[in-house]
Structure 1
Amino acid sequence: MREAYPQASVSQYLPPVDAGHSAQFVIADGGRTLNLFLDPYSGKVLGTQDAFWNLQAATRALHGELMIGTVGDRLIELAAGWGIVLVVSGLYLWWPRGRSGAGVLWPRLSARGRLFWRDLHGVTGFWGSLLLLFMLLTGMTWTGFWGASFADVWNRFPAAMWNEVPKSGELARSLNSASDQTVPWAAETTPLPESDAHAAHRAHAGHDRAPASEVPSIPLQQVVDTARERGVVPGYGITLPTTPTGVFSIAVFAADPRQDATLHLDRYSGKVLADVRWKDYGLVAKSVEMGVMLHEGRFFGLANQLLMFAVCLMILLSAVSGLVLWWKRRPSGRLGVPPLPHGLPLWRGAVVIMLVLGVAFPLVGLSLVLVWVLDRLVLSRFGGDRVMAG
């Protein structure tokens, strides 16, 4: 690797998951970050890939933050929060009080015309909305504002785990990025240890300004051996230290979260400074990790992916059938909104639901306040002018 990229700096190493797979290094070279794939037996470079501009990384960044950083993350969180509001309030308004079975839990296949489309819309919307609500809630745990606050409250580990471990002042979530998930969600709030500062000082004796790459460290193979000895499942990555007091971090974000592992090793002695596993997670963290794996379609393989695909189909079918119903109920001879039903006693409850969820999800609540202010100060004036003109 050094022959092909002599000036590159290595940030991460991913050992081969089995005898038939390549090893992977993540390197920075000439202003680019590359995934470098090597034959683990000969060391031959098999190929390279841009670490950010590949399909998986770009899709992940688009899904998480629209590829525009913090602003995109907040927009995603706002959309997910409003999705939760619409699903919960919609279920409340739609709920068939005093009726169950056909037309509610399953469509009346003998129905024709608008009744058939109403059943199709209601049934697919009901089941699809429950699964969509699960998707939205599990997705919210990854957001940068609400999700980070949620993790800070619920992801608690015994302080004794780090009693005699020097801490860097950063959290393990600093190892993650929009395009790459290194540390499991449940371990993101754990302290990121640091290597023995005294050893670092001794290593720098006489050349205090030497770059981190020149500081003596344990061999990478020793880190791999430690992962194997500690029973870390294949598929893990090793993040290399970038500062004199940095650590080697071993992490696997497993499809089965019960196999999650996050370890930090002193870069000079190889001592394991922290080892966080499934048994250390709290009940909420375990539930979230399970939910995230289901959300990503990874927990039970193809069946999980087909279930998530079915959720997408039900949402699309509900949207299409809703469009058909609107077309059938549109004002005669023109496009417009169907007439509003008389007497809407349930709307008060829906408003209460909206306000409660606005408090639970602050970005939703903030957007509600902003829309209310906009309506009172701006839009109401235009409405008044139209009424007077009429």
Structure 2
Amino acid sequence: MSKPKQSFYNLAWRWHFYAGLFVAPFMILLAITGIIYLFKPQLDPWMYRELMVVEAGPQRQSADTLLAQVRQAYPQGHVGQYLPPLNAVHSAQFVVHDGGRELNVFVDPYNAKVLGAQDGKQNLQAIARALHGELMVGTVGDRLVELAAGWGVVLVVSGLYLWWPRGRNSRGVLWPRLSARGRVLWRDLHAVSGFWGSALLLLMLLSGMTWTGLWGKQYADLWNRFPAAMWNDVPKSDQQAGALNSAHRQTVPWALENTPMPVSGAHAEHMGHHDMHSAPAAPQITLQQVEDLAKARGVAPGYSITSPNTAEGVFTIAVFADDPRNDATLHVDQYTGKVLADVRWHDYSPVARATELGVMLHEGKMFGPLNQIVILLVCLMILLGSVSGLVMWWKRRPSGGLGVPPLRHDLPRWKTAVTVMLVLGVVFPLVGVSMVVMWVVDSLVVRRGRVAVQA
């Protein structure tokens, strides 16, 4: 093998090692929380059966009747959202903000009986989702997840280079040498699972990155463009629809996150904009009218209705559908019931469509159980790759050291490799910044090591 290739192999090894040591704990956490959230459709009705499953009756009560019962049960609470029953045997759900807590309150739609409540932030799925998105520590966690996902892309790229057969037979390349023992077996499990899972792992990492606060926001700003005419040139507030989403709850589709919220304007002439923003909501249309509107407009089941918070706020009907072609986001004037905006799949740009499809594949919702099984296999591959990588490192690390692969001093500047790294550093700014930091630290460590050797 020629010296340059050998040397770049050495450099790729080093980058892969550093990235792996940082990324592996995050990947293990993301895979485990991802598996929990993946099976939400099956786990929720099983775990919360008495809250979520009801017996079908002859006649459903109106949304306003159900709302009145919830308000009676929580007189001090503010009802923020209503989720009509998904089907004939599902309860209706209200999101109630009460005494600093966010509650999911479930109501039997046939007899309007309040079935009970769960903590909206402290149930298994909400915790899994918040851990998955921002490690439950807000912005810092979001940036760490984004950094780990960006470095995950570097891991896949450098890992494929290290895996490349280079004239070896397929044993240990396309399938593991199960007869091997110790480190060789771990190495084969690591390399083979990494190879077979690489394309899907890249899809998972990139589709997941679209939700992140820094890279994802820039990506959304770049691609989520809607013509002004779509909003019927209605007055717009300074709030974006993304404000309706949180780490533990998804309301509007990704493609709508950075679109402006319209304002309810029937009374705008009677008070200043500032007064409207601080005054409480005073809807003149009922919740049932909004639900009827959703049905009349053919919005797919599974949608939520978010109530206005202020005098200028709107009702938002939104469905983040398992099949993104059924996505819908409607903003409704709280005074007149006029639809101020109605955005569907056909309004999305090609990039927004591709992203929504990627997100739904990521969440295992596109093709039912088959999609769930594929994503489960990817998560298991991620777990196997992360654990086997950590085991390999643990087995070969020297006592009292990290076991960083040695860097040859005759290393040539390998242009293509440097270009690939630079491109990844520019595309993912957090990765780029951390690369510079790592290069400085690494140079200091290597230099210190060299001085020690010379001494």
- Could you tell me whether the CA contact under 8 Å between 2:263 and 2:313 is conserved in 1? yes
Which residue of the partner structure matches residue 270 of structure 1?
Answer: 337
Unaligned 5+ runs, structure 1? none
Partner deviation per Cα, 1:104-155 (whole Å, 9 max, x = no partner): 444577x756877655443322112222111111110110000010011011
Distance 1:370 1:121, change over 3 A: closer
Q: Which has the higher contact order (CA 8 A, sep 6+)?
A: 2
Question: Which residue, 298, 312, 323 being the options, matches 1:231?
Answer: 298
Which residue of the partner structure matches residue 228 of structure 2?
Answer: 159
Residue 89 (structure 2) pairs with residue 20 (structure 1): yes
Partner deviation per Cα, 1:174-196 (whole Å, 9 max, x = no partner): 11111111000011122211101
Residue 369 (structure 2) pairs with residue 302 (structure 1): yes
Which residue of the partner structure matches residue 147 of structure 2?
Answer: 78
Q: TM-score, normalised by structure 1?
A: 0.86
Separation (CA, whole Å) in 2 of partners of 1:181 and 1:342: 51
Matched pairs, number: 381
Separation (CA, whole Å) in 2 of partners of 1:51 and 1:241: 19
Which residue of the partner structure matches residue 134 of structure 2?
Answer: 65
Which residue of the partner structure matches residue 287 of structure 2?
Answer: 220
Which residue of the partner structure matches residue 44 of structure 2?
Answer: none
Give the C-alpha shift of residue 92 in structure 1.
2.7
Q: Secondary structure at the match of 2:73?
A: coil
Which residue of the partner structure matches residue 452 of structure 2?
Answer: 386
Which residue of the partner structure matches residue 260 of structure 1?
Answer: 327
Separation (CA, whole Å) in 1 of partners of 2:413 and 2:177: 26
Separation (CA, whole Å) in 2 of partners of 1:260 and 1:371: 42
Give the C-alpha shift of residue 16 in structure 1.
0.8
Question: Which residue, 358, 368, 374 being the options, matches 1:291?
Answer: 358
Q: Secondary structure at the match of 1:76?
A: helix
- Could you tell me whether the CA contact under 8 Å between 1:129 and 1:315 is conserved in 2? no
- Could you tell me whether the CA contact under 8 Å between 1:14 and 1:25 is conserved in 2? yes
Which residue of the partner structure matches residue 352 of structure 1?
Answer: 419
Partner deviation per Cα, 1:66-105 (whole Å, 9 max, x = no partner): 1111111011101111111121122134323567866544
Which residue of the partner structure matches residue 185 of structure 1?
Answer: 254
Larger displacement relative to structure 2 (126-135 or 9-18): 126-135
Give the C-alpha shift of residue 267 in structure 1.
0.4
Give the C-alpha shift of residue 170 in structure 1.
1.9
Distance 1:118 1:158, change over 3 A: same
Identity of aligned residues (%): 66
| Amino acid corresponding to residue 74 of structure 2 in structure 1 | Y
Unaligned 5+ runs, structure 2? 1-69
Which residue of the partner structure matches residue 101 of structure 2?
Answer: 32
Question: Which residue, 202, 205, 208 being the options, matches 1:136?
Answer: 205
Distance 1:343 1:129, change over 3 A: farther
Question: Which residue, 430, 438, 441 being the options, matches 1:363?
Answer: 430
| Amino acid corresponding to residue 247 of structure 2 in structure 1 | A
Distance 1:60 1:317, change over 3 A: closer
Q: TM-score, normalised by structure 2?
A: 0.75
Separation (CA, whole Å) in 2 of partners of 1:247 and 1:158: 20
Q: Secondary structure at the match of 1:177?
A: coil
Separation (CA, whole Å) in 1 of partners of 2:415 and 2:369: 43
Separation (CA, whole Å) in 1 of partners of 2:391 and 2:270: 75
Q: Secondary structure at the match of 1:37?
A: strand
Larger displacement relative to structure 2 (361-370 or 144-153): 361-370
Question: C-alpha root-mean-square deviation of aligned residues, in Å?
Answer: 3.2
| Amino acid corresponding to residue 65 of structure 1 in structure 2 | E
Partner deviation per Cα, 1:278-310 (whole Å, 9 max, x = no partner): 111111111111111111111112211111121
Distance 1:319 1:165, change over 3 A: closer
Separation (CA, whole Å) in 1 of partners of 2:216 and 2:139: 13
Separation (CA, whole Å) in 2 of partners of 1:185 and 1:209: 25
Separation (CA, whole Å) in 1 of partners of 2:169 and 2:410: 23
- Could you tell me whether the CA contact under 8 Å between 1:93 and 1:350 is conserved in 2? no
Distance 1:319 1:218, change over 3 A: closer
- Could you tell me whether the CA contact under 8 Å between 2:156 and 2:194 is conserved in 1? no
Distance 1:208 1:67, change over 3 A: closer
Q: Which structure shows the higher helix fraction?
A: 2
Separation (CA, whole Å) in 2 of partners of 1:137 and 1:210: 39
Q: Secondary structure at the match of 1:85?
A: helix
Question: Which residue, 163, 173, 178 being the options, matches 2:242?
Answer: 173
Q: Secondary structure at the match of 1:299?
A: coil
Separation (CA, whole Å) in 2 of partners of 1:343 and 1:134: 36
Separation (CA, whole Å) in 2 of partners of 1:225 and 1:218: 11
Q: Secondary structure at the match of 1:243?
A: coil
- Could you tell me whether the CA contact under 8 Å between 1:173 and 1:189 is conserved in 2? yes
| Amino acid corresponding to residue 307 of structure 1 in structure 2 | V
Separation (CA, whole Å) in 2 of partners of 1:236 and 1:23: 11
